[in-house]
Amino acid sequence: MRLIDVLKLLAVLIFSVYPTLTLAAIDGKTLYQLASKYKEFSTNHENPSTSAGTFLGYVTGIATILNIQGKICINEKTSNGKVVDSVQEYIQKNPQFESMSEGSIVVILALTESYKCK
């Protein structure tokens, strides 16, 4: 099973087990912790965690909504893994956003920087 398939499965499981988890429930600090766990898992390909799956699902969900709305333009050949990796890298390079009360804003900033419409 490919890494991205494992992460997608984890995201589905998390959001079906924890239906009360909302986008607003993830603040900057939590987002940075999730991103760190995702990076750890995507680098080592061992010990999948619910944190890595949560990060994948969270970022993919926001990216899908923004792409449908035309706020960002993600090529259909671009994998979810690449999109999530770009957000994780943005988060790692911008620690000043960790104190934000809404993690979704950080994800939106990352996505609009990486996937501007031409």
Which residue ranges make up each domain of the chain?
3-114
Of 38, 27, 42, nearest to 99 by C-alpha is 27
The pLDDT tens digits of the residues spanning 24-44 come to: 479 999 999 999 988 888 887
Torsion of CA 115, 64, 37, 52, to 10 degrees: -150
CB-CB contact of 23 with 58 (8 Å): yes
Mean pLDDT confidence for 15-22: 46
Predicted confidence (pLDDT) at residue 54 exceeds the cutoff of 80:
yes
> What pLDDT, on the 0 to 100 scale, is given for residue 51?
82
pTM of the model: 0.76
